[in-house]
Amino acid sequence: MIDDPEEIFAECKKINEKYNYFTEVGQGAGDSNKGMLNGLYITVKDNICVKALDATASSKILKGYMPEFNATAIQRLLNQGATVIGKTVCDEFGFGSFNTNVGLDFKIPKNPVDVTRVTGGSSGGAAGITALANFRHVAIAESTGGSIECPAAFCGVVGFCPTYGLVSRYGLIDYANSLDKIGIMSKKVDEMIPVFNAMIGQTICSDSTVVDQRPKEFKPRKLKVGIIKESLKGMDSHVEKEITRTINALKKIANVEEVNLPFTFKYGIPTYYLIATSEASTNLAKLCGMRYGIQGDVEQKTFNEYFTEIRSANFGEEAKRRIMLGTFARMSGYRDAYYIKATKVRTLIIQEYKKLFQKYDVLISPTMPIVAPKFEEVKKLTPIQNYMMDILTVGPNLAGIPHASIPIHKSGLPVGLMAMTEHLEENKLFHFLKLVEEL
């Protein structure tokens, strides 16, 4: 473990040369407080604002945008003495499952265990540096439909996403407001708990959060665990082996039963993509070369010509695809059939989870059905095949329940187990994750 800031910056730069985890290595502003996070170094996903560091969400259209403020979640960590040491690469605006959809001119991160494989996405840089950091570190990342859990599983680290709304989204470059959640990655569960506790709540900014609610207390007892049956189909052999071993070990310390979640499995993907792209298409409308990032010459051009030119030249392919899909789903004549329909199906998905939580403390599934694929395997996937990869992670994200991926592999490539609890039951989730850590 190294502890000298200069050495840590040098180490991050060295790691970055080989693995492409950072969009920028450098210290955020205002890191001089004393508190319970003194000596902790944090990296921040590039779609979260940190004062004095560029915030691009790994998109060319935001190149050169340097926020004058810290996101609330980050400011709260700085107040407790944490130090920001850089911004981590992601899929452009979080639009991806493998972190291969980085914006134009950005470099794709490589898996820390095998550089011929992807990190997973969209928080790929965050997961990679968490795996390789040889200093006291946690990564602050963000999940919309699986962007923390998937890369955590592929890179072999713990990735945690809290109840929707518990952590302020002020200063997060939004992808889909009703789904976006700032969360944490670390090597061990214990490392993220004080960070989570410091991150909850507001600062002085107006905001919409559930800040008046706190995570519920939890007194350790024997847990009732439901394994989601539908999630056990279609796993690759390595994932299946590790999951089976883990479930057998869990049976010795918890009451484990198989449960069904058929509705979410059948309808989760279209519901997620219709809602997420609809929200993204409006959120990204502000990116047009005026207030943020790339700017062109406004003379001699009409309003629409200028905006269209800037957006067409600077958004990557997947960003364009999702903006288009979302625009379509909200278009007059289609809105009710696509966007509004999806918001109603979402209600039924939330109810399906709620019903299971009346009987079970924790639900589990593999995080991803496969191990981290090779770059050439990802290239062959069509957009819909890509979207289908999120089958296990979109459910808890749509329901806004706390969930986490925890590494369970004893050999070979990393495999993650995903655990989920009822809203505001983060403390129960942490307790369960620590049990899994000991298996």
Residue from 58, 97, 122, 365 carrying the catalytic annotation: 122
Q: Is 307 in the site for other proteins (CB under 8 A)?
A: yes
Rounded Cα gap, residues 265 and 116, in angstroms: 31
Q: Which positions from 179 through 198 interact with other proteins, judged by CB under 8 A?
A: 179
Of 131, 133, 155, 151, the residue nearest 141 (C-alpha): 151
* d(C-alpha 193, C-alpha 125), whole Å: 21
**Which range binds other proteins by CB under 8 A, 77-85, 87-95, 219-227, 305-313?**
305-313
What would the x/- binding string for other proteins be over residues 38 to 67, using CB under 8 A?
A: --------------------------xxx-
Q: What angle do CA 46, 49, 50 make, to 5 degrees?
A: 100
Q: Judge whether 312 counts as a catalytic residue.
A: no
Choose the binding region for other proteins from 10-18, 105-113, 239-247, 398-406 (rule: CB under 8 A): 398-406
400 binds other proteins (CB under 8 A): yes
Counting contacts by CB under 8 A, is residue 428 touching other proteins? Answer: no
Please count the residues of the chain: 439
CB of 298 to other proteins, least distance (A): 4
Q: Is 45 designated active site?
A: yes
Least separation in angstroms between CB 306 and other proteins: 4
The alpha carbons of the chain give a radius of gyration, in whole angstroms, of 21
Q: Which C-beta is closer to other proteins: that of 11 or that of 425?
A: 425
Q: Return the range that interacts with other proteins (CB under 8 A); candidates 42-50, 187-195, 248-256, 266-274.
A: 266-274
The single residue among 14, 344, 359, 410 that binds other proteins, judged by CB under 8 A, is 344
Burial class (CB in 10 A: 0-12, 13-18, 19+), 30: middle
Q: Which residues pair with 224 in a beta bridge?
A: 255
CB of 343 to other proteins, least distance (A): 4
Query: Closest Cα partner for 367 from 97, 166, 86?
Result: 97
Among 3, 4, 105, 305, binds other proteins (CB under 8 A): 305
The DSSP annotation for 7-53 comes to HHHHHHHHHHHHH--EEEE-PPS-----STTTT-EEEEETTB--TTS
- Which backbone phi and psi does 417 adopt, to 5 degrees? -105, 135
**Interaction between residue 237 and other proteins (CB under 8 A):** no
- Interface residue with other proteins among 184, 199, 261, 288 (CB under 8 A) is 288
Assess 323 for contact with other proteins (CB under 8 A): yes
Active site residues: 45, 122, 147
